[in-house]
Chains A and B, each alone.
Chain A
Amino acid sequence: MLDVHTIRQDFPVLQRKVHGKPLVYLDNAATSQKPRQVIQALVAYYEGYNANVHRAVHTLGEEATQRYEEARQKVADFINAPSLECIIWTRNTTEAINLVASAWARHHLKPGEEVLTSAMEHHSNLVPWQRVCAETGATLRIAPLTPEGLLDMDAFRRLLSPRVRLVAITHMSNVLGSIVPVEEVVRLAHGVGALVLVDGAQSVPHMPVDVQALDCDFLAFSAHKMLGPTGIGVLYGKLPLLEEMEPFLMGGEMVREVTYERATWKAPPFRYEAGTPNIADAIAFGVAIDYLKAIGMSAIRQHEIALTRYALQRFAELEEVQVFGPPRAEQRGGVISFHHPDIHPHDLGTFLDREGIAIRAGHHCAMPLVRSLGVVATARASFYLYNTEEEVDALIDALRKAIRFFGRVGTPR
C-alpha cells in the first residue's frame, strides 16, 4: 500500500485550488505533476553548477558532466538496460521513435517489406511509419483490436509474415489503457526476423519494465509523464543495432574527427546526441527516477490497479456513460476513456474544470482509434501514484452534476 497522503505532500501543485475547489488532477496520461525534489534539482543545477558537458576542464563542467552521466546510468538501471551506451537522450518519446525511423528504418526498409503496428497507436508511433514507408516503398500494416480493445493476437500472428522487418507497438494504450503482451509480441516477431520498437510512454511511468526480460530492440519513453521535466526523453536500443545505425542529427558532440570534407561518428550513445543536450532536465529526470524507485514500481502498479478497479465500479453506476477499453483492471493501465451520448467531451471538460477536476477531452492524438470507437472524441481520466479513491468519488459526483446540468434542456428531437 502506498502512503498516498505523504506522497501528496511532495507535490506543490496538488496543494492548490482551481476555481475555489481543491485540484483533482486526472490528466496524468498527458503529463504528470512534479515532486519538489525534481523541481529543486533543476534549481540546484542552474544555481550551483551550470556548465556545458563533455568539454569543459573546469570544476563546474566536471560536476555537470558527472551528474548528467549519472542520470543516464539511473535510466539504464531503471529499465535494466545492460549498459549505459544503450541509453540515448532525446526530447521525448516522439523524437525517440523518429530517431529509429530516420536512423534505422530509412536505411533498411525496401519495397515489398513491411512495418507492422497496431490500431491503438498514438500518432507518434503511426505517422513516422507512414512517412518512412512512403519514402522507402515499404508497406505499413495495422494489427486490429478485439472488441474489448486488446491487441488481437490471432490477427497479429497472421499479419506477422517474413516480410515484416519492424514491429512498432505500444506497451499501453493512452486511450484505452490496454496493456500489450510485449514479451509474446517480441518472441513472435523475432521468430520471423523482425525487430521490435516498443512505445513505452504510458507503461514505463506506471509499471516495472525490464528491457532484457522483454527482449525488445528499442524502447521509447518520456520523462515528463513520470514525474520528470518536459523536454527530455529516452531511446533505449540494443547496442549492436546502435553501433551499426546511421546518425540522426549532425553537428557537434556526435563526431569523432572532422575535416572540411568529411567526418567520422562517435560510438553510441553520443553518435545520436548532436549539439548541447538538455543537461538540467536530464539531471532532474534522474531525481524523478530516484523518487519512483524509492516508492517502487510494483507498488505503484498495484495502487493504480486498485484505483482503476474502484473507478470502473463507480463508472458502472452512471448508466448512460459508456466506458471504453478492457473490463478488468489487471488488463489495463490507469486510463479510463468515457463518453456520454448527449454531452460532448469538451463540454464535460469545461464543466469538470469548474469543479477543480482536470481531465482530457479530445482525440488523444489517436484519431483513427477514437473514430473506430464510433465517437469524435472521448473524455479521459488517468491516474498516478498520488491519486485517491476520494478523487474518483469527486469525479463521479461532478459527472452526475454535469449530467443534470446539461440535461436541463430537452433531449434531441
Chain B
Amino acid sequence: MAQDTSPAFPMDELDELYREVILDHYRNPRNRSPVPHADIASEGQNPFCGDEVAVQIRLEGERIVQVGVQGRGCSISQASASMMGELLKGKTVGEALGLSRRVREMLQGKALSPQELEELGDLEALRGVSKFPVRIKCALLGWMTLEEGIAQWRKGASTRR
C-alpha cells in the first residue's frame, strides 16, 4: 500500500471552507442591482473555470457611495464578491485597494491581527480558503475585477485632467 502523502484534512476543514456566512452570501448575493452611470465599471472572468464577476461603483469624490455586484460561478467566487460589495460602501478608493491587499494576504495564509480581521467583516470567513490552494483564485476574482476597474478609472481620470 502506498502512503497517503496528502495532508490529513479532517472534515471540519470543509466546514471551515464553506462557512454558513459564505453559503448565505452565495444563495443571497448582496447589491445585485447594476449601478447606472457608474464611475468605475469592470468585468472579470476566470478563463480556467468560466466564473464571472461584474462590479460597478458610483463615487462622490474619492468615496464609494453605491456598489453593484453581479456574477455567475462557484460559492467561493460569488460569496467573496458579494462580501466585497458590502464592505466597499463608504470607503475611499485608496481604502478599497488596501482591503484588496489585505484579503490577498489572508488568502495566502498570512496571520492578520484581530483588528485587521475585524476590518474585513464577513470576509474573515474566507480564511479557510488558504488551506485549498486551487480555490484561492476563486476568492480573488471579485477583487481582481475591482482592482482592474480602479486602474482603468485612474487612467481615465489622468487623461481627463
Q: Which residue of A lies closest to B78 (CB)?
A: A344
Interface presence of A250 (CB below 8 A)? no
Which of A18, A19, A362, A376 sits near B52, CB closer than 8 Å? A376
In the complex, are the beta carbons of A362 and B49 less than 8 A apart? yes
Given A347-B74, A376-B51, verify A20-B132 contact (CB < 8 Å): no
In the complex, are the beta carbons of A410 and B2 less than 8 A apart? no
List of B residues within 8 angstroms of A363 by Cβ: 49-50
Within 8 A of A (CB), among B44-89: 48-52, 72-76
In the complex, are the beta carbons of B74 and A346 less than 8 A apart? yes
Which of B9, B18, B72, B132 sits near A405, CB closer than 8 Å? B18
Separation of A376 and B23 alpha carbons in the complex (Å) = 19
Separation of A410 and B9 alpha carbons in the complex (Å) = 26
In the complex, are the beta carbons of B132 and A350 less than 8 A apart? yes
Which of B8, B20, B134 sits near A409, CB closer than 8 Å? B20
List of A residues within 8 angstroms of B51 by Cβ: 346, 376
In the complex, are the beta carbons of A347 and B49 less than 8 A apart? no
Report the interface size class on chain A.
20 to 34
Which of B2, B5, B76, B132 sits near A12, CB closer than 8 Å? B2
List of B residues within 8 angstroms of A158 by Cβ: none
Within 8 A of B (CB), among A217-260: none
Within 8 A of B (CB), among A2-43: 12-13, 15-20
Q: A371 CB to closest chain B CB, in angstroms?
A: 8
List of A residues within 8 angstroms of B18 by Cβ: 347, 405-406
In the complex, are the beta carbons of A344 and B73 less than 8 A apart? yes
Separation of A20 and B13 alpha carbons in the complex (Å) = 14
List of B residues within 8 angstroms of A344 by Cβ: 73-75
Within 8 A of A (CB), among B1-16: 1-6, 8-9, 11, 13-14
In the complex, are the beta carbons of B14 and A351 less than 8 A apart? yes
Interface presence of A394 (CB below 8 A)? no
Separation of A169 and B134 alpha carbons in the complex (Å) = 33
- Which 4 A-B pairs rank lowest in CB-CB distance, beginning with the nearest? A409-B23, A344-B74, A346-B74, A17-B4
